[in-house]
Structure 1
Amino acid sequence: MSTTDLTSQHNDPSFTSLWDELNWRGLIQVSTDPEALREAIDGDPITYYCGFDPTASSLHLGHLVQLLLLRRLQLAGHHPLGLVGGSTGLIGDPRQTSERVLNSRETVAQWVDLLRAQVQRFLSFEGENPARMVNNLDWTSKLSAIDFLRDIGKNFRVGTMIKKDIVAKRLNSEEGISYTEFSYQILQGLDYLNLYREYDCVLQTGGSDQWGNLTSGTELVRKTEGATVHAIGTPLITNSDGTKFGKSEGNAIWLNPELTSPYAFYQFWLNTADADVVDRLKVFTFRTRKEIEELGRLTEEEPYRREAQKVLAADVNTLVHGPEATRKAIEASAAVFGKGSFEDLDEETLSSVAAELPHATVPAGEHPVAELLVATGLSESKSAARRTLKEGGVSVNSRKVAGEDATVSEADLLHGRFALLRRGKKNLAAVTFEA
């Protein structure tokens, strides 16, 4: 995985207040005392944190919102703590619908390492305000059940806990909620208390759907230490048509390139709707207000150019996967849209392209193009395929195919196993030849 270039990142100097910039970017949906937060964020350096639970082997787009907020605060001189939840990951925060399946301790420990490496890429560990990584297993593992109940649990009121949105929903569901998941908010509150005591941490960020867990920490610090600390809840990103952001055909868009390839990642951003692209530029890029407003103007006046989408896709892909992976993704995208050659793509990139297209796998050897058109769904029947071939409307690996009896052999394949079939200008499919 490529290292993120942190030196090119800057907050927008046209804003005299970071608090104002964060609001303009739409990053604050809910918070504790806004005026006190403005004073803290725009004042002397403070320590702040965000937690990431290892409930999967990779972070996804929802986490990217938090990672970039952490980075924006660090660029302003504040001190970030990146927390990976080795203990809370063993429990899992309550889901909207049903109880989580608990993962083994070994699996969670492996995921902690993977997520820590991902978080570290987005923060600087050098300079006057270097980031620190922490693991809540370091302090919770030392607590006995009696100490946890006496020293921490006594500060929580059940009546308040059951009013939290997610808990209330689960209590009213058929399955209900276990004591394990019910107690999650206490564990997260303990994180804040420990970080306040050890690092003088006074701000936690997280998604607005986690607001109940965020405020459990602010309340615990208030009750035990008599101190006022803060929380920011970022909005849950949704598309203008009401669909959930970051989902592609039911699958999350992961930051790990082995789970979501840089090409697929690039395509996801390139397909952003015109109505959403300006908001995405604000949240997910370090483009200035002036640059984003200009891209918004181009979207309104010349939407066919999709200039804002191209900038968004390139910026976020570079941020997550690096410039080289982005260059390859752009070349692959050009080939897909008929403005480049598939022959110029390396095997890994071509494999990523094939995975995103209608696809067929066939045995190694010579195959009639007509059969491949049917196998990939580009033609309904062999007779229809042969008519298209006769009319000259088919290309294989960016080369026009002549004749209705045309075949594809090993010599025609890219990297010895791929054939990209195009019918007309827009219909594209992939064939993998297996030995």
Structure 2
Amino acid sequence: MTTPYALYQFLLNQADEKIDEYLKILTFLSLDEINKIMTKHNQAKYLRFAQKTLAYHLVKDIHGARAANQAQKISNILFAKSNQNLTLSDIEMLKNSIQTIYVEKNQKFIDVIRRYKITVSNRETREFIQKKSFLIDNQIVVDENQIIEFKKYSKYALLKKGKKDFYILTNVEKINF
């Protein structure tokens, strides 16, 4: 089954042209409520109010209110202008919703990317680095051979690839495959 967060994000990324129809088909909201939602949405489409409403209600109907609230919180945390205020408890919550990558001490960035197939090739990894599209705990990765360090949360780090892909890096003694 799709995780609540994955479903929430999928729905959040739906096109404006279809959102009215999706609200009518996929939620139990009244037509009056949907019309109000769409009016508010059309005043500032970039805020994605209708998509957020659809995502919340559908996740709530499938997974429950607690899961919907958590998916909404995770999305807000990850896509905030700056997620530097993440707490250790936020990281613990994220572990259950986004991919976890296990990293041994003194491991090079490129080796981790290769092992977990985060990019399709070393060339693509280098391109992401050149474009400053990899961040670890909001710090831009500038060298493919840099050693991954766990400074902010001691055992965890948040890896961001591009605009939408996130991973939890977890420091472990030894990886057993």
Fold conserved between structures, TM > 0.5: yes
**How is 1:122-271 mapped onto 2 (pairs within 5 angstroms)?**
259-271=1-13
The corresponding residue for 2:96 is 351
Deviation at 1:292, TM superposition (A): 0.9
Structure-2 change in CA distance of 1:282 and 1:383 (3 Å)? closer
The corresponding residue for 2:109 is 369
The corresponding residue for 1:308 is 50
Q: Deviation per CA, 1:132-158: give whole Å up to 9, x if none.
A: xxxxxxxxxxxxxxxxxxxxxxxxxxx
- For the residue of structure 2 that corresponds to 1:304, the secondary structure is helix
Percent identical residues: 23
The corresponding residue for 2:159 is 421
The corresponding residue for 2:167 is 430
The corresponding residue for 1:189 is none
Deviation at 1:310, TM superposition (A): 0.4
**How is 1:279-318 mapped onto 2 (pairs within 5 angstroms)?**
279-318=21-60
- For the residue of structure 2 that corresponds to 1:281, the secondary structure is helix
Deviation at 1:261, TM superposition (A): 1.6
- For the residue of structure 2 that corresponds to 1:345, the secondary structure is helix
Structure 2 residue aligned with 1:407, among 119, 144, 147? 147
Is contact 2:129–2:141 with CA below 8 Å preserved after alignment? no
Q: Which runs of 5+ in 2 are unaligned?
A: none
- For the residue of structure 2 that corresponds to 1:422, the secondary structure is strand
Q: Which runs of 5+ in 1 are unaligned?
A: 1-258, 356-360
- Rounded to whole Å, the distance in 1 between the matches of 2:17 and 2:108 is 44
- For the residue of structure 1 that corresponds to 2:98, the secondary structure is helix
**How is 1:370-385 mapped onto 2 (pairs within 5 angstroms)?**
370-374=110-114, 375-377=117-119, 380-381=122-123, 384=126
Deviation at 1:322, TM superposition (A): 2.8
- Rounded to whole Å, the distance in 2 between the matches of 1:379 and 1:431 is 21
- Rounded to whole Å, the distance in 2 between the matches of 1:329 and 1:297 is 25
Is contact 2:24–2:34 with CA below 8 Å preserved after alignment? yes
Q: Deviation per CA, 1:103-131: give whole Å up to 9, x if none.
A: xxxxxxxxxxxxxxxxxxxxxxxxxxxxx
Q: Deviation per CA, 1:279-308: give whole Å up to 9, x if none.
A: 222233343322211222344453222110
- Rounded to whole Å, the distance in 1 between the matches of 2:138 and 2:8 is 25
**Larger radius of gyration, structure 1 or 2?**
1
Is contact 1:370–1:385 with CA below 8 Å preserved after alignment? no
With CA pairs under 8 Å and 6+ residues apart, which has the higher RCO, 1 or 2?
Answer: 2
Structure 1 residue aligned with 2:76, among 334, 353, 359? 334
- For the residue of structure 2 that corresponds to 1:352, the secondary structure is coil
TM-score (norm 1): 0.32
Structure-2 change in CA distance of 1:428 and 1:347 (3 Å)? same
Deviation at 1:379, TM superposition (A): 7.0
Is contact 2:129–2:142 with CA below 8 Å preserved after alignment? no
Deviation at 1:269, TM superposition (A): 2.4
Structure-2 change in CA distance of 1:392 and 1:268 (3 Å)? closer
- For the residue of structure 2 that corresponds to 1:372, the secondary structure is helix
Is contact 1:354–1:429 with CA below 8 Å preserved after alignment? yes
- For the residue of structure 2 that corresponds to 1:430, the secondary structure is strand
Structure-2 change in CA distance of 1:414 and 1:323 (3 Å)? farther
- For the residue of structure 1 that corresponds to 2:69, the secondary structure is helix
- For the residue of structure 1 that corresponds to 2:10, the secondary structure is helix
